[in-house]
């Protein structure tokens, strides 16, 4: 596992303690945990497919909630994250692949405490280039954690490293041999994510 920073590591302040309010995808529960994150799924997934993430984070002291994102409607997906952030200013955003990308677009439009992206899809498989999928990254002011495998066909590692440098407060963690979805490395990635969120 290799780590690197973006343009600057953020100064991690004390965790905030806002209440969880009802918003799209939430059940209205109030949590006493300081570290909270809403997670979006990949393009072919659902909120249920994020259960391993939610369960693993909960074991590490982070309250994770998964939301269903509309297929083929990116702007509507971004709005779900924006609504969640408005309902709870202490809520971090994140997700797997498409979900992380939509969360990042929301993080570029509003203030959130942190952003966590698992297997961010920098480009389409077989079309390695930096383009619109990372053009908004310089506008993301919060601490960002990127977790990716160096064999991910959606993120050629040299391009991902270059893109990560445009994040004002970015950290990239690379798992050697891991593919899209971080199979075989997900538990380790979630450990890193939990430590990151508990330190924000």
Which ranges of the chain have pLDDT less than 70? 1-34
pLDDT computed for residue 34 by the predictor: 56
- DSSP, collapsed to helix, strand or coil, labels residue 103 as helix
Phi and psi torsions of 98, nearest 5° = -55, -40
pLDDT computed for residue 3 by the predictor: 57
For residues 80 and 109, the answer to whether their CB atoms sit within 8 Å is no
pLDDT computed for residue 1 by the predictor: 61
pLDDT computed for residue 24 by the predictor: 36
| pTM for the predicted model, two decimal places | 0.83
For residues 149 and 180, the answer to whether their CB atoms sit within 8 Å is yes
- Pick one of 3.40.50.1970, 1.10.1740.10, 3.40.50.360, 3.40.50.1820 as the CATH number of 2-9+34-199: 3.40.50.1820
pLDDT computed for residue 35 by the predictor: 92
DSSP character for 14? P
Q: Retrieve residue 34's tokens.
A: 């300081």
């Amino acid at each position: 596992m290799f780590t690197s920073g973006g343009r600057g590591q953020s100064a991690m302040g004390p965790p905030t303690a806002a209440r969880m309010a009802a918003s799209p995808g939430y059940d209205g529960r109030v949590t006493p945990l300081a570290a909270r994150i809403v997670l979006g799924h990949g393009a072919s997934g659902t909120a249920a497919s994020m259960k391993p993430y939610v369960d693993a984070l909960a074991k590490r002291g982070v309250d994770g909630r998964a939301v269903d994102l509309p297929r083929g409607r990116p702007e509507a997906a971004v709005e779900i994250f924006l609504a969640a952030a408005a309902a709870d200013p202490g809520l971090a955003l994140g997700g797997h692949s498409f979900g992380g990308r939509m969360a990042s677009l929301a993080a570029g439009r509003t203030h959130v405490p942190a952003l966590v992206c698992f297997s961010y899809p920098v480009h389409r498989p077989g079309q390695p280039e930096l383009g619109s999928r990372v053009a908004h990254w310089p506008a993301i002011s919060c601490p960002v954690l990127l977790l990716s495998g160096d064999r991910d066909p959606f993120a050629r590692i040299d391009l991902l490293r270059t893109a990560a440098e445009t994040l004002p407060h970015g950290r990239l963690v690379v798992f050697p041999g891991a593919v899209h979805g971080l199979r075989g490395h997900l538990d380790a990635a979630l450990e890193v994510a939990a430590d990151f969120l508990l330190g924000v």
